[in-house]
């Protein structure tokens, strides 16, 4: 380590890696490294490795000037370079990994939910309703693969269901990705929580993703060993949760390790390259390699191995439908993003020509 302040072990415990070390070599010697723990409208809270001090900061004017869009601003999990007095963000360190979805609305823009994450807990509730579905799992895996993060499926609220139902859901998860790590948890009786804690070693960062009401905040409180985040009951009629976490937070766990708790997701529009579908649809992509044409779209072309597998009952209809839906959604988002970027550049040059 060569960041030059405090104990290097503090920085490593806060998630500092060789990636950040290499990037820091281009930063002024007078700057102070810090990690974003919370984000607000026009300010951030950061943690400084030297003693894990937390403080509120704002962005310097020069930093605003360098930001081309919303995704250039720091998000929870980012490392930043602070001014020598520790009050202003001067630079954002390039990210190792991201968890990104498409921002809601008409414009196709990336919305980064968390940065520099090593593992993501995909949390599903076992208490019925809409808390688990194959389609949602497939979408989560696509998002996680696009950001280069390792997924773990957490089936929570095991105390609310039968052993038979748990095994059925596990089987459905395995049908999507056979080698994925699965953990069964229950906060009231503590089931599986120690195994979950062991997946967050010192110096690594884990993020919780899931719908409202699946128990992300309850799991976080248990891992923190205190009531840090407010929780609320799920509707018994509609099986829907309410947002109790309104802003993402980076938290240090007792004994080490970092956890980002995020608000419940009401929708998950995809963002990324088509290659990110490999994690959620590896079976279809393996079949596609046997198609007669390399650019086969699997929608009626001759010699399509995917359609043949479908006809022979090897590939379920619903799985192919989900794949085509996600593939087309990613392509549409990319097209809309390019059109938006082109329109932005046209408007920018129009303003320049008037000067």
Query: Can you give the pLDDT of all 355 residues of the chain as single tens digits?
Result: 444 444 478 899 999 999 999 999 888 888 999 999 999 988 999 999 988 999 999 999 999 988 888 889 999 999 999 999 999 999 999 999 998 887 765 556 778 899 999 999 999 999 876 678 898 898 889 888 888 899 999 999 999 999 999 999 999 999 888 899 999 999 999 999 999 999 999 999 999 999 888 999 899 999 998 755 555 454 444 444 444 445 889 999 998 899 998 886 766 666 666 777 877 788 898 999 999 888 898 988 889 999 999 999 999 888 998 989 888 888 777 776 666 655 655 655 565 565 4
246 and 287 assigned to the same domain = no
- Which among 92, 123, 148 is the end of a domain? 92
Apex CA 114: angle with CA 152 and CA 62, to 5°?
Answer: 160
Check the CA dihedral 106-108-112-117 and report its sign: positive
75 and 140 assigned to the same domain = no
**How far apart, in whole angstroms, are the C-alpha atoms of residue 35 and residue 14?**
8
- Helices 163-176 and 134-147, interaxial angle, to 10°? 50
293 and 223 assigned to the same domain = no
181 and 33 assigned to the same domain = no
The domain total for the chain is: 3
**How far apart, in whole angstroms, are the C-alpha atoms of residue 309 and residue 311?**
5
88 and 113 assigned to the same domain = no
**How far apart, in whole angstroms, are the C-alpha atoms of residue 353 and residue 333?**
30
179 and 217 assigned to the same domain = yes
- Which among 41, 71, 92 is the end of a domain? 92
Query: Which CATH number is 345's domain given?
Result: 1.10.40.50
Is residue 157 in a domain? yes
The SS3 call for residue 39 is: strand
Domain residues for 31?
8-92
Q: pTM of this prediction? A: 0.80
- Farthest CA pair distance, the chain: 71
Query: Which CATH number is 86's domain given?
Result: 2.40.50.140
């Amino acid at each position: 380590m060569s960041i030059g302040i405090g104990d290097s072990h503090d920085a490593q415990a806060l998630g500092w890696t060789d990636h950040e070390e290499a990037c820091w070599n281009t930063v002024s010697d007078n700057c102070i490294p810090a990690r974003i723990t919370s984000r607000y409208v026009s300010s951030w809270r950061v943690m400084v490795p030297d003693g894990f001090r937390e403080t509120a900061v704002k962005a310097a004017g020069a930093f605003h000037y360098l930001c081309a869009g919303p995704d250039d601003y720091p998000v929870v999990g980012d490392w930043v370079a602070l001014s020598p007095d520790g009050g202003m963000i001067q630079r954002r360190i390039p990210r190792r990994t991201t968890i990104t979805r498409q921002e809601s609305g008409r414009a196709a823009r990336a919305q980064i939910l968390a940065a520099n994450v090593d593992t993501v807990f995909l949390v599903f509730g076992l208490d019925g309703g809409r808390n688990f579905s194959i389609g949602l799992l497939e979408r989560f895996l696509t998002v996680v693969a696009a950001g280069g993060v390792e997924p773990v499926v957490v089936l929570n609220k095991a105390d609310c269901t039968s052993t038979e139902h748990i095994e059925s859901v596990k089987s459905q998860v395995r049908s999507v990705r056979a080698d994925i790590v699965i953990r069964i948890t229950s906060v009231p009786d503590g089931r599986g929580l120690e195994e979950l804690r062991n997946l967050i070693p010192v110096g690594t960062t884990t993020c919780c993703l899931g719908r409202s009401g699946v128990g992300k905040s309850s799991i976080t409180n248990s891992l923190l060993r205190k009531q840090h985040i407010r929780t609320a009951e799920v509707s018994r009629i509609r099986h829907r949760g309410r947002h109790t976490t309104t802003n993402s937070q980076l938290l240090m766990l007792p004994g080490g390790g970092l956890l980002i708790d995020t608000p419940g997701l009401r929708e998950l529009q995809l963002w990324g390259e088509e290659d990110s579908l490999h994690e959620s649809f590896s079976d279809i992509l393996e079949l596609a390699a046997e198609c007669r044409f390399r650019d086969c779209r699997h929608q009626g072309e001759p010699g399509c191995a995917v359609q043949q597998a479908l006809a022979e009952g090897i590939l379920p209809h619903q799985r192919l439908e989900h794949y085509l839906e996600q593939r087309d959604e990613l392509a549409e988002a990319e097209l809309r993003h390019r059109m938006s970027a082109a329109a932005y550049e046209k408007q920018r040059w129009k303003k320049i020509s008037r000067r």
